[in-house]
Amino acid sequence: MSIFSNSHSPESSLGRLAPLEAVLFDVDGTLCDSDPLHYYAFREMLQEIGYNNGVPIDEEFFIRNIAGRHSEDTAKILFPDWDHEKAMKFLKPIEGLHKLCKWVKDRGLKRAAVTNAPRPNAELMISMLGLTDFFDAAVIGSECERAKPFPDPYLKALKELNVSVEHTFIFEG
């Protein structure tokens, strides 16, 4: 029996071993492929301020110098003046995301978004994906003592949802 079966019976081997109480989702790279959005934002911002004599950065430069690096100063500019329509062109849900979210919700599982993205960015991405009402909580790494890759944000989510680590599944990109 697949864990994604339409029936939710306690007889399944997974259900007997560890009944699922909650699902935690990373945001960037898990709910959506946000790298193209980040690349576009940085390319535009750097071009606007005349970086590299106004010549746009390429993807290689972005990957080598920007991708995966955490900086509160640069994160604040990811969505400076974008309207919803423009942002939607670059932020698409991972294939199968809405089917998975329906499965999780139909089973009454608790759920939280756990991310190192700044809260306004995380909330905007979640909203643009149509998942604002899906999550019971959103935990932000910078609001914890230590951000990911430390477990603190996930531990905070478990506490906020009042669930145990033994009965929680985590999707991390």
Question: Residue 30 and residue 24: Cα distance in Å, rounded?
Answer: 11
Selecting among 28, 83, 136, 152, the annotated active-site residue is 28
135: number of CA atoms within 13 Å, CB side? 23
Residue found under tokens 């329906």: 102
Give yes or no: 73 in active site: no
Selecting among 26, 33, 58, 73, the annotated active-site residue is 26
Give yes or no: 81 in active site: no
Q: What is the DSSP string of 8-66?
A: --TTSHHHHHS---EEEE-SBTTTB--HHHHHHHHHHHHHHTTGGGGPPPPHHHHHHHT
- Active-site amino acid positions: 26, 28
